[in-house]
Amino acid sequence: MPYSVLLVDDEKYALKNLEHIINWAELDYEICAAVSSGRDALSYIKKSQPDLIVSDIHMYDMDGLEMLEEIRKTGGKTAVIFVSAYDKFEYAQKAITLGALEYLLKPVSADKLRETLMRIKPILKNNITKFEKENNYVIDRIIKKIKSDCGGKHVLSEYAAQYKLTPNYLGNLFKKVTGMSFISYLLKVRMERAAFLMKNTDKSLEEIGAECGYDDYFHFNKMFKKIMGVPPATFRRSASAETEKREDDDNA
């Protein structure tokens, strides 16, 4: 799978030139988006985490260094290459401090860009492996928390803050790993727990609803029917009938 690249430059000509100066696919890279400001880049990153950002430093609304600072504040570890027309030591120094892989001077030659992209491939591969492990750990922790206390308070934005991720990114990540949205997964676990309690305990339906996170029984009734296909009372009668039949068969 090619490495995904986000291009950022507020000069249309420079952005277009960066896009076409080399054959990205030939080097196993794919341009996933090209945007004209640091803020647009941040908006894109909230939805999708590219493997690499190639960005100008001087831009009108938010420069590249400010953009990278914001990315790091939210826990983003995307690799970054800066391009700039300014050969200033303090820019390069801050870029490296923030974790930029390279600081290239404009105009960037095709050969220099190609050489840089080839050289950083092992770093990108290592980053991706590390990110996947970290991401799987985060989702695994959330799933364990939900399963151990499905009736508790589970809010995506609070988990995102806990793990220093944006809610959008965590939501997309959760769906990628589990195949379900956060809300759908939580609802599924709660209703499966409710079904278990109906089959195996004498607790009232109201008590079961409350234990699974629903103080409002009517809302619980609605959600249970949505997931299980029948209302809680019908499900319990059916489960009781099956249990009685099984016991009769065992005693026959």
Going from N- to C-terminal start, the domains of the chain cover: 3-119, 135-250
The answer to whether 157 and 165 have CB atoms below 8 angstroms apart is: no
Architecture of the domain defined by 135-250: Orthogonal Bundle (1.10)
Q: What are the pLDDT digits (tens) for 38-52?
A: 899 988 888 888 999
Nearest residue to 169 (alpha-carbon basis) of 71, 52, 37: 71
Phi, then psi, of 59 in degrees rounded to 5:
-135, 155
CATH architecture of 3-119: 3-Layer(aba) Sandwich (3.40)
Task: Report the run of H or E that residue 158 belongs to, with start and end.
Answer: helix 156-162
CA distances from 3 to 12, 127, 159, 174, 244 (A): 23, 11, 28, 21, 59
User: Over the stretch 52-91, which tens digit does the pLDDT of each residue have?
Assistant: 999 998 887 788 888 888 888 777 778 999 988 877 767 7
Predicted confidence band at 106 (pLDDT cuts at 50, 70, 90)? confident
Specify the pLDDT at position 18.
92
Whether residue 33 contacts residue 44, with contact meaning beta carbons closer than 8 Å, is answered with yes
Q: What is the mean pLDDT of residues 145-164?
A: 94
Residue with token string 């009372």:
233
- Separation of alpha carbons 131 and 155, rounded Å: 23
